[in-house]
């Protein structure tokens, strides 16, 4: 089975693309899926994230930097398609970059992380057109908005949610709240799973997103790759 490809895109900077990419890929790796992160951002944040991990607890997935491929990213990604079960492409924020468009050409699913504040959301509406354009070629592309840095029960969040229909993209049921542990995990080059009880709420959120994504993609539970034989 060729890999399912998830592109994480939003031309708005700082919306949580790398956080969603790395937490999701790490969660899938822990579940036994063969996963790869394609760092398609010249800022190389995903690459630095994985490189920040200690030797004792390495980041659980490989990262390959392909930002230099620009509008040919889709061709480069295809080279890895038979070696993995899920590939996640972390896109750069630049609106004029060809990378998001190219990444969407090979994607099965695009996740659009978005901060539920009106300014962030209006700045992100442009992704709708990019997705619509690519969907004319890649007509099986699915899309979900992923609310990130949510602060439930605030008036601002309520106002922001009224803007959601302007995207014309379904919103994922799972969302990530604003939590320090997401920042901390990035500093240590880890996923939230490595932080135990103090990350419990974040672990629930990212597991829920992983479940939702796997269901959308119809990816089966991995067969155990390392069977332990007892004599
Ligand atoms: N749910 C969250 N709670 C707290 N902090 C968060 C959360 N999500 C992301 N952050 C922090 O917000 C900042 C921006 O996140 P991130 O780097 O994932 O965004 P990005 O969309 O990849 O940015 P860029 O557009 O520059 O690539 C980082 O410092 C990250 O640790
Ligand atoms: Mg990023």
Range of the domain at 22: 4-217
Whether the Cβ atoms of residue 151 and residue 124 lie closer than 8 Å to each other? no
Number of the ligand 1 atom closest to the C-alpha atom of 19? 18
Count Cβ atoms within 10 A of the Cβ of residue 214 and give its class: 0-12 exposed, 13-18 middle, 19 or more buried.
middle
Q: Where are the alpha helices (H) located in the chain, listed in sequence order?
A: 17-30, 45-51, 73-78, 99-105, 118-124, 127-135, 155-161, 180-187, 200-217
What mean pLDDT is predicted for residues 144-148?
Answer: 96
Instruction: State the average pLDDT over residues 13-34.
Output: 97
Distances (CA, A) of 58 to 2, 47, 122: 26, 13, 38
Note the pLDDT of residue 60.
96
Ligand 1 closest atom vs CA 91: 27
Under 8 Å CB-to-CB from 127, ≥6 apart: which residues? 9, 10, 11, 100, 112, 167
**Considering the entire predicted model, what is its pTM?**
0.95
CATH number at residue 32: 3.40.50.300
Task: Decide: 173 and 167 in contact? Cβ < 8 Å.
Answer: no
What is the CA 23 to chain-centroid distance, rounded? 8
Domain count for the chain, please give it: 1
Q: Specify the pairing of strand 142-147 against strand 109-114.
A: parallel
Model confidence band, residue 227 (pLDDT cutoffs 50, 70, 90):
very low
The answer as to whether 80 is a domain residue is yes
Query: Is residue 196 in some structural domain?
Result: yes
Share of the chain above pLDDT 70, in %: 96
Residue 93 CA: which ligand is closest?
A: 1
Assigned domain for 22 exists: yes
Query: Does ligand 1 lie within 6 Å of residue 201's CB atom?
Result: no
Q: Is residue 89 part of a domain?
A: yes
Ligand 1 pocket test: which of 146, 151, 157, 182 has the largest number of ligand atoms within 8 Å of its C-beta? 182
> What pLDDT, in 10s, does the model give residues 170-226?
999 999 999 999 999 999 999 999 999 999 999 999 999 999 999 999 998 886 554
Give me the phi and psi of 50, to 5 degrees please: -65, -35
Q: How far apart are CA 3 and CA 157, in angstroms?
A: 36
For residues 90 and 186, is the Cβ–Cβ distance under 8 A? no
**How remote is the CA of residue 226 from the centroid of ligand 1, in Å?**
34
Count CB neighbours of 209 within 10 A: 22
Residue 225 included in any domain: no
| 228 located within any domain | no
| Domain annotation covers residue 229 | no
The residues near 40 (Cβ < 8 Å, ≥ 6 apart) are: 66, 67, 69, 73, 89, 90, 91, 92, 99, 103
């Amino acid at each position: 089975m060729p890999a399912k490809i998830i592109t994480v895109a939003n031309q708005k900077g700082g919306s949580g693309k790398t956080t969603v990419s790395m937490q999701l890929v790490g969660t899938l790796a822990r579940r036994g899926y063969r996963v790869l992160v394609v760092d398609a951002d010249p800022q190389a944040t995903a690459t630095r994230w994985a490189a920040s991990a200690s030797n004792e607890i390495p980041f659980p997935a490989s990262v390959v930097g392909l930002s230099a491929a620009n509008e040919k990213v889709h061709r480069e990604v295809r080279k890895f398609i038979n070696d993995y079960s899920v590939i996640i492409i972390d896109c750069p924020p630049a609106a004029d970059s060809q990378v998001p468009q190219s990444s969407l050409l090979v994607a099965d699913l695009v996740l659009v992380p978005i901060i539920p504040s009106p300014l962030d959301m209006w700045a992100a509406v442009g992704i709708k057109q990019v997705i619509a354009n690519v969907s004319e070629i890649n007509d099986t592309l699915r899309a979900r908005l992923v609310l990130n840095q949510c602060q439930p029960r605030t008036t601002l969040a309520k106002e922001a949610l009224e803007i959601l229909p302007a995207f014309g993209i379904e919103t994922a049921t799972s969302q990530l709240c604003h939590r320090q542990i997401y920042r901390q995990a990035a500093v240590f080059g880890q996923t939230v799973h490595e932080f135990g009880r103090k990350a419990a709420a974040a672990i629930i959120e990212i597991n829920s997103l992983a479940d939702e994504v796997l269901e959308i993609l119809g990816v089966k539970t991995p067969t155990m790759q390392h069977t332990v034989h007892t004599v």
